Amino acid sequence: MLGEGILKGMAETARNFFGSYVSKERLTTVQYPEEREPVAENARVFPFLVYDEGMKDGERPEWEAGLRCTSCQICEKECPPKCIFIEKSKDKKPDAFGKAQYYPVRFDIDISVCMSCQICVEVCPFDSIKMDTQFELATDDRFGNLMIDVQELAKSDSYYHSIHPTEASAIDQHRAETKVMLAAKTKAAAESAAAKAAAAPKPPEQQAGQGA
Amino acid sequence: MTTLVNDRHAPGWNRPPIIESDGEGELLEVAMGPHHPSTHGVFRMDVALDGERVVRLKPVFGYLHRNHEKIGEGVSYLASMPYTDRLDYFCSLTNNWAYALAVEKLVGIQVPERAEYIRVILAELTRIQNHASAIGFLIQEMGASGTPLMYAFKEREKIMDLFESLTGSRMMCNYMRFGGCRVDISEVQLNMARSIVAGLPNFIDEFEALLSSNEILLARCQGVGIIKPELAVNAGLSGPMLRCSGVNYDLRKVDSYGIYGRFKFRVPLGDHGDIYDRYMIRVLEMRESIRILEQALHDIPAGPVADPKVKSRGIRPKPGEVYGRIEAPKGELGFYLISDGSPNPYRYRVRPPSLINLTILEDMCLGQNVADVVLIFGSVDIVLGEVDR
């Protein structure tokens, strides 16, 4: 019969049309600015720099004292669209493990060039740069607000925990292990140095004793 | 009869072609695009019409050229990976796979078992969502504005949600790495994939009830835009465009790259090479993809998803050349890389299925109505990001 296929299709659309009044699962839209759907946990939008809270270093503000970035510039080199600009400091500051490290005096990311690919996060050996899930990044200033500087990029470790809880606690565990390992290493190094120091003066004494 | 003078050796050949008429009828030149709702992006077809019939068709592309290959030669091997997402932005995961496969061949990296399974699962989900939306767009170009496309997008949305929760992005996934995948798939996400796959047969049945026997679709599609098998092979077509003309060539069977040799599935073939065959092949391929997905989701083993010894950053392959190819939803997607031992490839070439499938557009359109040109173009299933690169 001519028109059978069309009627069959119409029955299908009618079923869906009335079905949307019956089943609540079919109402998939939300009233966006007022209602929001939760963001996926490993969503990635734009990078930020993690700083550890509660670190003190002279006059420095908290975010600068706790900044994990050592300005090794690997992310700058690996960034596919080359949107990261880093300037290394002349002096050093202690990091979370107590080791003196360089820090970035300038760390700019051009938000208009960044393509949210997460390569910088993967290559960072210091777990310093991470992806934010904040996606409302529109700005009305073409010239000033598109270059995000280090102060704007710096966000606390607890903020990182709030957006990527699983990943952040895994990294915390890893960092705690590293800290223990480093402490053991420095302790062992200190002990061996002390032993060396204790052992070193002995031979001359013995030699001196023998000589006498 | 009208004759067309388009002689390159004639004086003033670089001007628009001179059209001569003997008075019976005049040729009308129409520039369809670059901003035309049916061109899937920025693409121009210079069509010469004799009444309603197409006498000549010249595809003009390059409006979306983004220097992809030259950028690939200037950055490291890893940094090209997110750029491959932007080739065919509907199927970023298969693009990732093709590029990862080429580099793995070049360096000689083995991929862990679990990662291979994840790759197959993601590639087949990508194929399903690509074919569903391709059919949706095809039907939209036929005049059914919206309904089939929204049905397709309803299903695509579920797959996109899975991609987002796994890779962090809906379309620009950037997920595969040389020697594995970036993050492991959790049991929750696997169950999500299982429930998507369980709902897919229903969706395809619904889609087919809506479309397959529709009289308008049959009238517009059957016998229109025919590709002969000889032409398809000579033009180097691949994917559904090649198989619609009855040529049995599917890289998943021919190459058995990855672990495709382990799965039972059939390759649907067309008989007439018209638009309806291309539509039907996509429907059937979705059904076969479901079979592969069911097997893969059942068999997926535990284990690592990447070899921790393999560093994706700063690889320097030995000098040599390699061609890695996969069966992307649109056809054979290949990456040809030449290494000179430096951290950047010396040559980085993409073999895009969309571009090569598009080359026979004129052969399909000659003698057809101008309204069918839009439909034939839609049935090729291209993405301009891949055509122009």
Indicate if the pLDDT at residue A69 is higher than 70: yes
Q: Is residue A32 part of a domain?
A: no
What pLDDT shows up at residue A211?
43
Looking at the partner chain, which of A6, A43, A123 has a beta carbon nearest the beta carbon of B168? A43
Looking at the partner chain, which of B157, B168, B312 has a beta carbon nearest the beta carbon of A40? B168
- CA distance linking residue A47 with residue A129, whole number of Å: 6
Q: Which amino acid is at B276?
A: Y
Neighbours of B366 (CB within 10 A): 12
Q: Is residue A50 part of a domain?
A: yes
Q: Is residue A180 part of a domain?
A: no
Indicate if the pLDDT at residue B21 is higher than 70: no
Domain extent, residue A104, equals: 46-156
pLDDT digits (tens, 9 = 90+) for A6-58: 888 888 888 888 877 887 777 777 888 888 888 888 888 889 988 888 777 77
Please tell me the least confidently modeled range out of A90-94, B71-75, B97-101, B276-280: A90-94
Strand stretches in chain B, DSSP E: 3-5, 18-20, 27-32, 44-50, 53-60, 176-177, 180-181, 320-328, 331-339, 347-351
Alpha-carbon B378 to chain mean position = 12
Half-sphere exposure of B80 (CA within 13 A, CB side): 32
pLDDT digits (tens, 9 = 90+) for B120-175: 999 999 999 999 989 988 888 888 777 888 888 888 988 998 999 888 888 888 89
Angle, CA of B307, A71 and B166, to the nearest 5°: 40
- CA distance linking residue B210 with residue B188, whole number of Å: 33
Indicate if the pLDDT at residue B17 is higher than 50: no
Q: Answer for the pair B264, B89: CB distance below 8 angstroms, yes or no.
A: no
CATH number at residue A94: 3.30.70.3270
> If we measure between CA atoms, which residue out of B388, B241, B199, B204 comes closest to residue B328?
B241
- Interchain pair B168, A123: CB under 8 A: no
- Interchain pair B216, A6: CB under 8 A: yes
Number of domains forming the structure of chain A: 1
Nearest Cα residue in chain A from B86: A115
What pLDDT shows up at residue A200?
66
Please tell me the least confidently modeled range out of A166-180, B7-21, B306-320: B7-21
> If we measure between CA atoms, which residue out of B63, B57, B69 comes closest to residue B29?
B57
In chain A, what percentage of residues exceed pLDDT 70?
A: 93
Distance, in angstroms, between B163 CA and closest chain A CA? 10
Paired tokens of A146? 């598109």
Neighboring chain A residues of B215 at a CB cutoff of 8 Å: 2-6
Q: Answer for the pair B247, B232: CB distance below 8 angstroms, yes or no.
A: yes
Looking at the partner chain, which of B81, B168, B215 has a beta carbon nearest the beta carbon of A5? B215
Burial of B229 (0-12, 13-18, 19+ CB in 10 A): middle
Distance, in angstroms, between A42 CA and closest chain B CA? 5
Question: Mutation test of the interface with chain A: which of B214, B310, B315, choosing the one with the most A Cβ atoms within 10 A?
Answer: B214
Looking at the partner chain, which of B78, B182, B212 has a beta carbon nearest the beta carbon of A78? B78
Domains and CATH numbers, chain B: 3-60 (no CATH), 68-388 (1.10.645.10)
- Interchain pair B210, A78: CB under 8 A: no
Paired tokens of A201? 């003066």
Sheet holding B27-32, edge to edge: B27-32, B44-50, B53-60
Q: What was the ipTM of the complex prediction? A: 0.78
* Per-position DSSP letters for B295-342, written without gaps between them: HHHHHPPPS-SB-TT---TT--PPSEEEEEEEEETTEEEEEEEEE-SS
- Interchain pair B168, A118: CB under 8 A: yes
What pLDDT shows up at residue B16?
43
Paired tokens of B323? 């061609």
- Interchain pair B174, A40: CB under 8 A: no
The whole-model pTM stands at 0.84
Which range scores top for mean pLDDT: A16-25, A141-150, B54-63, B234-243? B234-243
- Interchain pair B313, A79: CB under 8 A: no
Q: Answer for the pair B338, B331: CB distance below 8 angstroms, yes or no.
A: no
Q: Which residues pair with B181 in a beta bridge?
A: B176
